Amino acid sequence: MASRAEQFAELVRQQPGNALFRFSLAQALLADGRPADAVVHLEACAASRADWMMPRILLGKALRQLGRGPEAKPVLTAALDLAVAQQHEDPERELRALLAEL
């Protein structure tokens, strides 16, 4: 039986432009403890829609986990801007805390 990451990787191979498949693959990779593999997919998702907050949050967290804090900061800042604009209070609090740690 294929893992969730393998299942979504196959869907991404079939439809590489499908941002939702890429997002699901990235989430599965993060759940498997593979942030380095998730980064490229999260970057593609963030690039696909200027108003999509979640890929930016996960991308920032993945970059931090990889010790790439300077790269994470602008990503998390962009996610914070979206959280504020979209009135998502819990993500806003989380993002402010993450940014304070950088």
**pLDDT for 18-57, tens place per residue?**
999 999 999 999 999 999 999 999 999 999 999 999 999 9
What integer pLDDT is reported at residue 1 of this predicted model? 76
Torsion of CA 55, 57, 59, 62, to 10 degrees: -140
Are 63 and 72 a contacting pair, CB within 8 Å?
A: yes
Prediction pTM value? 0.95
Containing H/E element for 16? none
Q: How many helices (H) and strands (E) does the chain have?
A: 6, 0
Which domains are present in the chain? 4-101 (1.25.40.10)
